[in-house]
Amino acid sequence: MGGSRRLFLSAAACAVFGPTTAGRAQHRILSAEQTVELEHDDRMARLRAAVDRLGMPNPPRFSVSRVPRERMPANFSVSAPVLRVAFSERTFFDTADWTILPQGLLAVEAVAAATRGEAPDAAVFVAGHTDDRGGEAYNHNLSVNRANAVSDALMRFGVGDVALWRVGFGESAPLYANDTDEHRGFNRRVEFLFGARVEPVVQVLSAQLDDFCISSSQAESDRCRFPLPGREAFEATQLTRRAIGIGMDGRAAAAAPGRPTRRAPLGRRPPRTSAPVPRTAQVTAAVPLTLTIPLRRTITIAAPQR
């Protein structure tokens, strides 16, 4: 894994692994799996602390999904947790508007402060969602405008070195059937998704239809699922313009437009064979500023055969 994730701990290692018999901190280098999980635990603690300090009347909901290693690029050989922090629409916006309210700016500032503690190759996605009132195109545009407003505010506060993305899903991924005011209120939301890199977050967003429509009966679930609009692909845009390779072995194949070519140190190089691999034969990955997220497929970024 990349240098940013080779965490060499001294005092922190003492807290994780315990002191030596001499009472001095034991220096340890964590495994890839330990590092990813430690980063995830730290991320969760930072975000919960930041939100708790706000004392919000409608606090966000925290949930965690894990993408198995088989769906990750070859150089990221562990499962990857993705943290989802979902805020109610009322935190950020008035009805049918995308101007952030004062209390919403406080929430964005808190999330930005927590984000600045992330590793350099981490990814953060801002996802906008609506209920089903209004036309499908209107709701999609509203969700994109809201995701833009929140992500632009994050950029103004500063997000450190993460790759920041935004995407709007409109009414296509409800949490509940749009059959009561309460359920519609839950569906109108802004979510922040945090991952060790881009791929696991995209996997989770693509598989939303596996987890949506919370219901107490099959009939209620059917009422939620069947009227969904037909839009199946959604464009995510990177605001930070970081040259991060996506998919394959994680190295950048080309520079972002207008930027010098440089490789993104996202992962360790593949193991050497008996003969050096020619430079032209290296597997590389694109550095897109936009991604298409197909909502009805569970595998979005194919990993190479192992």
Instruction: State the DSSP string of 260-302.
Output: -------SPPPPP-SSPPPGGG---BB--SEEEEETT-S--SP
How much is the pLDDT for 204?
92
Q: pLDDT category, 207, cuts 50, 70, 90?
A: confident
**pLDDT per position as a tens digit, 249-274:** 443 333 334 443 333 333 333 343 33
**Predicted confidence (pLDDT) at residue 119 exceeds the cutoff of 50:** yes
Q: How many residues does the chain have?
A: 306
Look at residues 173, 153, 155 and name the one whose alpha carbon lies nearest to residue 163.
Answer: 155
How much is the pLDDT for 213?
67
Query: The tokens of 230 are what?
Result: 């037909």
Percent of the chain with pLDDT over 90: 40
Euclidean distance between CA atoms 199 and 121, whole angstroms: 11
**Predicted confidence (pLDDT) at residue 30 exceeds the cutoff of 90:** no
- For residue 68, how many other CB atoms are within 10 A of its CB? 11
Q: Write the CA distances from 276 to 101, 152, 199, 252, 269, integer angstroms.
A: 57, 45, 28, 20, 12
Q: pLDDT category, 14, cuts 50, 70, 90?
A: very low
Q: pLDDT category, 225, cuts 50, 70, 90?
A: low
- Residue 252 is given by DSSP the state B
How much is the pLDDT for 289?
86
Q: pLDDT category, 228, cuts 50, 70, 90?
A: low
Q: pLDDT category, 212, cuts 50, 70, 90?
A: low
> Within its chain, how far is the Cα of 98 from the centroid?
21
Give the CA angle between residues 41, 42, 47 to the nearest 5°.
Answer: 100
- Residue 54 is given by DSSP the state H
How much is the pLDDT for 286?
55
**pLDDT per position as a tens digit, 270-302:** 343 334 433 333 334 455 788 999 886 443 344
Per the listing, tokens 């966000």 go with 60
**Predicted confidence (pLDDT) at residue 99 exceeds the cutoff of 80:** yes
Amino acid sitting at position 46: R
Euclidean distance between CA atoms 72 and 21, whole angstroms: 39
**pLDDT per position as a tens digit, 165-204:** 999 999 988 888 888 888 888 889 999 999 998 999 998 9
- Work out whether strand 233-238 and strand 80-88 pair parallel, antiparallel, or are unpaired: unpaired
Range from 11-20, 50-59, 192-201, 261-270 carrying the lowest mean pLDDT: 261-270
Percent of the chain with pLDDT over 70: 67
Q: pLDDT category, 143, cuts 50, 70, 90?
A: very high
**Residue 114 burial (10 A CB sphere; 0-12, 13-18, 19+):** buried
Q: State residue 140 phi and psi, 5-degree precision.
A: -65, -45
Number of H helices, E strands in the chain: 8, 9
- Asked whether 91 and 56 are in contact (CB, 8 A), the reply is yes
Q: pLDDT category, 75, cuts 50, 70, 90?
A: confident
Look at residues 10, 2, 193 and name the one whose alpha carbon lies nearest to residue 87.
Answer: 193
Q: pLDDT category, 221, cuts 50, 70, 90?
A: low
Mean pLDDT across 12-18:
41
End-to-end CA distance of the chain: 16
How much is the pLDDT for 74?
78
Look at residues 7, 44, 238 and name the one whose alpha carbon lies nearest to residue 123.
Answer: 238
